[in-house]
Amino acid sequence: MANASQAVTIFVDVVALLYHEARNVRYLKRRGYAGLEKYDSLVNLADSRNPAWPQIQESRKSARRCSSAREVEAVFGRRFGVTLHDLEVLYAHPGWKDSPLGGNKWLNVARWVIRLRDAIGRGDVQVQKELLAQFPNLRHNNGSVKSKLEQLDAYLEDLLGHGR
């Protein structure tokens, strides 16, 4: 069973990934959807996934030092000017329908993260345990969230010269 510290660590990693993927809001903006100005700081992340991942790491490191999920959310909120709820709204945007990237497939991940944040905040160990049990099977557009994190972290390790 995962302890509270493990729950916060996984929470940090998936939150980092949610913000990383939200950089794809640029595609909605290019298609002319209005009302997305709030997400402009995410468009400043690199377009490609690998180069964008190192740009998230400073916030991820800061968030790993936090003791609560709300503090973690605040770290990313200060950096990007949007909350997890804002990301949930973004991922629910109808412009993502049938898109091969970003969007609606990440909505379930955003909702999972919000439920985990709330369970950590309440100290609800049972719900945390249930949500963490779902983590290995949590899916996005073309695979598992866990695999995507592993791939991006492997890229980061290689980039920093700590590769295998």
pLDDT in tens, 19-38: 999 999 999 999 999 999 99
Cβ contacts of 36-44, under 8 Å, gap ≥ 24: 36/90, 38/81, 38/82, 38/86, 39/82, 39/86, 39/90, 41/79, 41/80, 41/81, 41/82, 42/80, 42/82
In the predicted model, is pLDDT for residue 102 greater than 70?
A: no
pLDDT in tens, 62-84: 999 998 999 999 999 999 999 99
* Nearest alpha-carbon partner for 58 in 90, 43, 80: 80
Question: What's the pLDDT score for residue 57?
Answer: 96
Question: What's the pLDDT score for residue 99?
Answer: 72
Percent of the chain exceeding pLDDT 90 equals 76
Confidence of residue 4 (pLDDT cuts 50, 70, 90): low
Percent of the chain exceeding pLDDT 70 equals 94
Question: What's the pLDDT score for residue 164?
Answer: 44
What's the mean pLDDT in 47-61?
Answer: 95
Domains of the chain by residue range = 4-159
In the predicted model, is pLDDT for residue 1 greater than 50?
A: no
Contact by Cβ (8 Å): 70, 83: no
